[in-house]
Amino acid sequence: MRGVSRNPLETPGPAPPETQESLISRKTVAEVPLTGLSFLIAAISVEKIMRRIVAISMVGILLGIGSDFRAARAAEVKESASEVNFEWGKENRGQLGSLRALTPAPQPGEPIEFEVRVKNVSDKDTHLPSGLGSERMSACFWTFYFDQWEWRTAAQLSCRSVPLKPGETASVRCLVATTGDSLTADQKDRFPFLPPAQFRHVLNKTESDRLPEGTYRVRAMLNDQLESNLIEVRIKNRR
Q: Is residue 9 part of a domain?
A: no
Secondary structure (DSSP) of 115-129:
EEEEEE-SSS-EEEE
Q: Are residues 178 and 231 in the same domain?
A: yes
Q: Are 46 and 39 in contact (CB under 8 A)?
A: no
Domain boundary among 85, 109, 137: 85
CA separation (Å) from 150 to 10, 21, 160, 176?
132, 116, 25, 11
Q: Are 235 and 213 in contact (CB under 8 A)?
A: yes
Q: Is residue 7 part of a domain?
A: no
Q: Are 116 and 220 in contact (CB under 8 A)?
A: yes
pLDDT at 149 over 90: yes
pLDDT of 85: 81
CATH for 110: 2.60.40.10
Q: Is residue 200 part of a domain?
A: yes
DSSP state at residue 66: H
Q: Are residues 53 and 137 in the same domain?
A: no
pLDDT of 191: 87
Q: Are residues 40 and 62 in the same domain?
A: yes
Q: Is residue 130 part of a domain?
A: yes
Q: Is residue 12 part of a domain?
A: no
What is the total count of domains within the chain?
Answer: 2
Q: Are residues 107 and 128 in the same domain?
A: yes
Mean of all residue pLDDT scores within the chain? 76
pLDDT band at 38 (very low <50, low <70, confident <90, very high): low
What is the domain extent for residue 77?
Answer: 19-85
pTM: 0.64
- Structure confidence by residue, pLDDT tens digits, 65-94: 344 434 444 444 444 445 558 899 999 999
Q: Is residue 150 part of a domain?
A: yes
- Neighbour tally for 151: CB within 10 Å: 22
